[in-house]
Amino acid sequence: MKKLKVALLGCGNVGSQVARILLDDAAVLAERTGAELELAGIAVRNLEAPRDVELPAGLFTTDAEALVDSADIVIELMGGLEPAASLIRRAIDGGATVVTGNKALLAKDLPGLAARANEAGVQLSYEAAVAGAIPILRPIRDSLAGDRITKVMGIVNGTTNYILDAMDTTGAAFDDALTKAKELGYAEADPTADIEGHDAASKAAILATLSFHAPFDLDDVDCEGITSVTAEDVAAAREQGMVIKLLAIAERLGNGSGTEGVGVRVHPTLIPRVHPLAAVHGAFNAVFVEADNAGELMFYGQGAGGRPTASAVVGDVVSAARRVVLGGPGRTEATVGQVKALPIDAVRTSYSIGLQVSDKTGVLAKIAKIFTDHKVSIETMRQSPEDVEGDAPGSASLRFVTHRGSEAALAATVADIKELSVVTAVTSVLRVEGN
């Protein structure tokens, strides 16, 4: 049986579980691949650092370059841009297959790395970079290769989904839900990348690149986090039969002049409770795909964690090893399309707008005129005349939900409403999908 040397770069939460699987399930993996997968070494920065899994000390090294040079398959789980990027390029140029879960690096340079792998005739795989254990990238790349995807919409960050779900099911405030997420290990000590939407934006760029066969990166993603979502927003959503989720969305659009493009965005979003994504609770992830022929598809499962994400990594390793055993060039998605990224102004969506206004005659007429001036249609309006905590005496709370319109028109409407003297505050602006 052919022996393939596997180099593992990084031994954190995911890397330690990958190493465990490669060692404990060596015989099973050999049967499935037709080759013995030998874990040749694990490159780490600190040999003395504590590990989640007890592993043979002799496997660890600080010389990542030497380990890469001797490997047939390189698994990169270091994260960050450098030295990960340099080591991946070194592996590709040396003829090694690469498996990575590095969403930040892929969001920055997936097309460049894919082109480099194709030129070298090796495979670059990265299923673990989006939605943990959920098999979503390979189905988009392979199963839907003969279809035309029109929209991808997903919950791709477990931390934010846990926080928003807790706010919805328990009535907790944002800060309290975040504290609980940290206690349970769902949120990092510094949760900025999650709650500001940056993690989801990286994944949105990768999903867009694969779905629309064209290069997209972080600069193409309009990003908004969940820190402005309040308990009042969540309660209002519940009254409307909706729930708030942080969604990553990539969709085909027209720019008004007949030219097709793609809009890529991440933001807190209202969706009806009857929508499949509304039923995704806790730290789970789900990705909803719409295609011309396949119709609507949803992929659901654990989107993070050492063991679930390691499952996706080892799945890529097995697939890559089979290719090496059988021979032939690698299969890495080539992004040769000419579809351009369009700004968020080109998106058509609906808004839910919360206002605090003076409770007197003529207020609704003034607000309605601004909607009319911008040709934005109102679908529903709710008024709560009773005082709520923090409201000025004689004030009322209004909440409008619009019909679908251009982002540009909706944003201009909100901007003009803010200038009205009868409007005390714009308390929230949330986009609506799936209605």
In the annotated binding site for NADPH, the residues are 103
The residue length of the chain stands at: 435
Q: Which helix (H) or strand (E) holds 263?
A: strand 260-272
In order, the DSSP letters of 332-389 are: -------PEEPPGGG-EEEEEEEEEEE-STTHHHHHHHHHHHTT--EEEEEEE-S--T
Query: 198: closest CA among 113, 292, 266, 296?
Result: 266
| Dist. CA 68–CA 7, nearest whole Å | 6
Are 99 and 317 in contact, with CB atoms under 8 Å apart? yes
Structure tokens at 67: 């380990």
Instruction: Give the residue ranges of the annotated binding site for L-homoserine.
Output: 188
Q: Which residues lie closer than 8 Å to 146 by C-beta, 6 or more apart? A: none
Helix and strand counts by DSSP (H, E) for the chain: 14, 18
List binding-site positions for NADP(+).
9-16
The token pair at 114 is 């894919």
Token digits of residue 8: 């593992």
Catalytic residue among 3, 203, 340, 418: 203
Residues belonging to the binding site are 9-16, 103, 188
| DSSP secondary structure letters along 71-102 | -SEEEE---SSTTHHHHHHHHHHTT-EEEE--
Active site residue 203: yes
Task: Locate 289 and state its tokens.
Answer: 């795909």
Residues annotated as catalytic are 203
